[in-house]
Structure 1
């Protein structure tokens, strides 16, 4: 079977650039949307040109020009959207509704993967305000996709290691603490950590797979289901140094929300669900989902001790 042609929307972003690379690596004809909104962002333009050098095809389109989106979508079989839903960078998940309209009109798309790549929003209806906005908006997009009868796959990639492992899961830092480390609760709640390149690899694997059609793909490789304490332990062994540890109760974490800006409140709310509630691991995958490492055992996914070595 011929490999699907892919359009990546948001290809210059944190996840998007990896999706483009993985799509090319797996032999797909890969288009990247070049949006007029790029303006004078020289870094994004240079990245797009580098994609072109690697074999990707740039296609112009804008979210303010419906016909341009329809024309772009008609060139491909699969659309993958990786627009940011992270409040401390840019947050524009509902822009995808314009993409849904374009896909609906084009009528040729075999699979649409909207911008998800985190916790499964279908399981987060109880989430704290204001952080639940992320999940609510993703569910609005899902409803539009399903109402339009567009074939889909949702990718639940859990915690990106760049944001949660290199910093030993410390809020407001991306690098490992040197002396003291904050432990959430008892630090033993199981979390799923993923190398971002592996997220992209699994995502592209799924696009032509009938087993994942109209399902959620959960990325939960067994050796990457770890507690915060296990991540800290791996770092201490690599570094040959023990860190001072202090525990933060759920009550104190939630009390810290007061006085934080909006983006901070969203992020801390998500930390609460991940590290105290265990929302990534407190359920069994049902008939609505598949687990990536079971479907694709050939993928040699990165373990977190290997990931941490880059911070030494």
Structure 2
């Protein structure tokens, strides 16, 4: 049934989730793409950080390792592909100041993530905290350059979008506090 569906399209955009079971299903899609032989572009489900340039702790480490293996499988089979790296979304992590479990904006207290051991938290929170550890402690969002040989910067693809800097975004979050202080 999957093979029949793949034979009817030119492009596949996988939107499977990030849990290991759903990521494993992408290998079936890749095998169907290989068998069908008609796909012009495959976009695997990995919307987020580059799985080949992160160093998260568990439980996110396993997910990123699987994403990297899927990438390698796609390359090994010479499947035309596009990897979308949106990194972290500034409107999720920045307003929370790394506290994935709370709703922003935060004005009263800030918690400090300990040594990065997120294993004692509920599963979804553990995953969020392990990514936060990777971002804030290991700095994986700022330890590489985007160059023309490896990627395209979004601001070049969509110049009509009015982008703001992280500083401008933080200022927008802090403006209610500044107004109250004055």
Q: Same fold (TM over 0.5)?
A: yes
Cα distance change, pair 132–113 in 1 and its aligned pair in 2 (3 A): same
1:275 maps to: 136
Cα distance change, pair 276–148 in 1 and its aligned pair in 2 (3 A): same
Matches within 5 A, 1:224-303: 248=112, 252-254=114-116, 257=118, 259-286=120-147, 287-301=149-163
CA contact (8 A) 2:59 2:119 kept: no
**Separation in structure 1 between the aligned mates of residue 105 and residue 115 of structure 2, nearest angstrom:** 20
Q: Which runs of 5+ in 2 are unaligned?
A: 177-182
Structure with more relative contact order (C-alpha pairs < 8 Å, separation 6 or more):
2
Instruction: Deviation per CA, 1:238-276: give whole Å up to 9, x if none.
Output: xxxxxxxxxx2x6x2425x35324443332221111012
1:69 maps to: 2
Q: TM-score, normalised by structure 2?
A: 0.77
Cα distance change, pair 79–300 in 1 and its aligned pair in 2 (3 A): farther
2:53 maps to: 123
Q: TM-score, normalised by structure 1?
A: 0.48
Q: Greater share of strand residues, 1 or 2?
A: 1
Aligned pairs, how many? 170
RMSD (CA atoms): 2.8
Secondary structure at the aligned position of 1:128 is classed as coil
Q: Which runs of 5+ in 1 are unaligned?
A: 1-67, 183-247
- Residue 134 (structure 1) shift: 1.2
CA contact (8 A) 1:81 1:114 kept: yes
